[in-house]
Amino acid sequence: MGLKPTRTRYATAAFLMLLAAVTYLDRICISILAPDIARDLHLTKLQMSFVFSAFAIAYAAFELVTAWWGEKIGARRVLARIVLWWSIFTIATATAWNYGSMLAIRFLFGAGEAGAWPNATLAFSRWIPARERGRVQGFFFAAAHLSGGLTPLLVIALMRILSWRQVFATCGAVGFVWAIAWYRWFRDEPRDHPGVNAAEAEMIESERRLVTHNKHQPKLWRALATAPNAWLLCLAYFSNSYGAYFVMTWLPTYLAERRGFRAEQLSFFAGLPLVLSVFGDLSGGVLTDALSRRFGLRLGRGLVSTAGYGLAAAAMFASVYSATPTVAASLIAVAVAASMFTLSASWAACMDIGGAHSAVLSAAMNTTGQIGSVLSPVVVGWLVQHFADWRMPLLIMAGLYLLSAILWTLINPRKPIE
């Protein structure tokens, strides 16, 4: 009777789920605290939008290099550094004294968090067999979105006893615990972990492409730049981050100013898109694995993504013309959750296509998404400040979701980067 594989890979997945939760805790709290920050620092809507975007600009700028660094020295050391850095600058946000200092701190916060998810993908690619990747990615994103959905309730509760500065200090402290525990427990290769037996190591390694660092970096960059699959994957991801960053920045203000929600309703509906996204994450992960096993990777990844983005476009468009505030807010939540339904397929496709360079490809995709994150708050802030119209930003999001649905009909995860 053969040796039964251990399940240490699931502990790795649990560690990375906690990482995802902490990233969203630290990202989301600023959207709830924005009115207090703007009042204390005397910021206009447009200035606040640049504060939001400062994080995304730095995140995009440092994403690829941090992913490459992870491939070179391993996710263990890089993720520990990332979490320590961003925790320090989450706490430092509490010390901002004017517009310039807030911009600088949020930029450095974004620089520190860059590469977190690509390096998590690198860890998944080394630890998770191909048959389980969609589900594991689904749980990873579900943890992030559940954390993001509950953060408004947590922050509003904390604001009853703490100032906005103290809230940032409290949230930032959580990351130190994770970073220390991760560095002590994790190993870059399953075989090097004392909790992994030979059977589990062999099962993992039999279902992954050989993971080695490519010493010929120019060839890697040329391969990425000339691969249609890589470009399509990146462009399709733009709308996901664009819409998500609207939720993380301007949605509470939209619900208050355009739809007339009060504080009690606001805390619920501001978090609803990310709470619903948990179901999108989990169902998308399970479905993409099941369809891939039955129909192959192209249909398994493509059907999930095309359907998700198509529903997101329809729901966002309908929300604009809904006369009922609760229906409009609910439709926005459905649209965002439908876009998140595609995440497992998208990030699993990075492993399918990228192989040994899953981190770099996922970083390229996420960087494109971060360009959307940079533009989203600025475009929304500018349109609302100059035209006093909240409908235009939502219609733009609906159009971007529709474009992503079309692009996914052209992506072929069965064709890896050579």
Q: Is residue 369 part of a domain?
A: yes
Distances (CA, A) of 258 to 29, 36, 242, 296: 21, 19, 20, 45
Give the type of residue at 376. Answer: S
Q: Is residue 333 part of a domain?
A: yes
- Model confidence at 67, pLDDT cuts 50, 70, 90, reads confident
pLDDT for 215: 46
pLDDT greater than 80 at residue 26:
no
For 222-232, what is each residue's pLDDT tens digit? 777 777 888 99
Q: Is residue 173 part of a domain?
A: yes
* DSSP letter, residue 258: T
Q: Is residue 3 part of a domain?
A: no
Nearest to 189 by CA among 126, 136, 133: 126
Q: Is residue 414 part of a domain?
A: no
Contact 244, 374 (CB under 8 A): no
Q: Is residue 185 part of a domain?
A: yes
pLDDT for 306: 96
For 317-344, what is each residue's pLDDT tens digit? 999 999 899 999 999 999 999 999 999 8
- Model confidence at 217, pLDDT cuts 50, 70, 90, reads low
Q: What is the mean pLDDT of the chain?
A: 87
pTM of the model: 0.76
CATH code, 366: 1.20.1250.20
For 239-276, what is each residue's pLDDT tens digit? 999 999 898 788 888 888 888 887 677 778 888 898 89
Two structure tokens written together for 175: 């990351």
pLDDT for 209: 54
Q: Is residue 132 part of a domain?
A: yes
| Total number of domains in the chain | 1
Q: Is residue 334 part of a domain?
A: yes
For 267-309, what is each residue's pLDDT tens digit? 788 888 988 999 998 999 889 989 988 898 889 999 999 999 9
- Higher confidence at residue 186 or residue 418? 186
Residue 250 domain boundaries: 8-208+218-408
Contact 345, 134 (CB under 8 A): yes
Nearest to 344 by CA among 362, 360, 356, 357: 362
